[in-house]
Amino acid sequence: MDFFETILWPLRWLVELVLAVWHQAFTWIGMDPESGLTWVLSIIGLVVVVRSALIPVTVRQIKSQRRMMDLAPEMKKIQDKYKGKKDQYSREAMSRETMALYKKHGTNPFSSCLPILIQMPVFFSLFYVLRHASDNTTGIGFMTAELTKNFNAAELFGAPLKMTFTQGWESGNWTVVVLLGINVILMIGSQFFTQLQIMSKNVSDETKNSPMYRQQRILLYIIPFAFLFSGVAFPLALNVYWFTSNLWTMAQQFIVIRNMPTPGSDAWRARQERLKAKGKLTDDEKRAQARGEEIAPPKAGQRQQPVSAKRSKKKGK
């Protein structure tokens, strides 16, 4: 057992428990224990358990991302203040002011990465569980010899779940190659669409003019292609887990953007229109709209103030 396997031992035990419970549940309702579909559904069940447990962390991530976007204009001021200054004193001063800004807004650059950082140990724990099962080695808890045998026999449309893209290519199993190829395309597409939802609909007009936003737009086209490595290096079963997790993220972002949009964003304005149509605007908002004004998005620690439609249009340009 290598170092990482030792560290991940508790998580591997939990992953085996969840997989075994779901597999047993689907077997009880009459599904074949050696069927690829039974194992795919068990892996999807694992995604549901993991992502449901991460909902509180995800809510914190969403709030942190929003705060990071809100402080972009202030961050630009600090960067402009020390632009061209490369001496140690200036670098330290810039670092102190940046950290003070993060503290003031109650966020930091790493908060938005928290859900994925938590998911990665689960992902690698599942990788070790499936790798040992592929080698006909029983697990450390609930992955018994019988479950290991069932997993090794599991196929989806003739593609063994334990097989990787490389193994499929070398053995001439083109079903594995095609399925993993389609899976990678879908993973890249779902990741891109998820990020595009945030960047195009859930970012305030002020933030769209900041350098931070332009940098994130570049990452929008780069990050999804990291899934190329996943598609080639990991077995089909593990790619099913990651793609299902991507679909969860995409649906979750849609719900958040629709119901908790960033103030001043296109999604926020669309929500205001929906509330207006349903007659659910607050008294302040109704009075403002009766005067041809709209409620300006609030800044941290400030209450909403009505802004005339003309001023609002100018601000959005």
> Whole-angstrom Cα distance, residue 128 to residue 12?
8
Find all residues with CB under 8 Å of 68, minimum gap 6, and list them: 105, 107, 109, 111, 112, 212
User: Does the predicted TM-score (pTM) go above 0.95?
Assistant: no
Which domain range does residue 149 map to? 3-71+107-259
pLDDT of residue 40: 93
Residue 275 token pair:
């509330």
Q: Are residues 301 and 158 in the same domain?
A: no
pLDDT of residue 313: 44
Task: Provide the domain count of the chain.
Answer: 2
Strand, helix or coil at 218? helix
> Whole-angstrom Cα distance, residue 263 to residue 241?
34
pLDDT tens-digit profile, the chain (317 residues): 577 778 888 888 998 999 999 999 999 999 999 999 999 999 999 999 988 888 887 777 766 666 666 676 777 777 777 777 777 777 778 788 878 877 776 666 666 566 667 778 888 888 888 888 888 888 888 888 899 999 888 988 888 998 888 888 888 888 989 999 898 888 888 878 877 777 777 766 666 666 666 666 666 667 667 777 777 788 888 889 888 988 988 888 888 888 877 777 777 788 878 877 777 666 555 544 544 444 544 444 444 444 444 444 444 44
Q: Are residues 238 and 306 in the same domain?
A: no
> Whole-angstrom Cα distance, residue 63 to residue 74?
18
Q: Are residues 54 and 199 in the same domain?
A: yes
Whether 96 maps to a domain, the answer reads no
Q: Are residues 66 and 170 in the same domain?
A: yes
Q: Are residues 65 and 120 in the same domain?
A: yes
Q: Are residues 199 and 299 in the same domain?
A: no
Classify residue 262 by its DSSP letter.
Answer: P
Query: Residue 8 CA to chain centroid, in angstroms?
Result: 22
Whether 269 maps to a domain, the answer reads no
Whether 187 and 227 have beta carbons less than 8 Å apart is answered as: yes
pLDDT of residue 207: 65
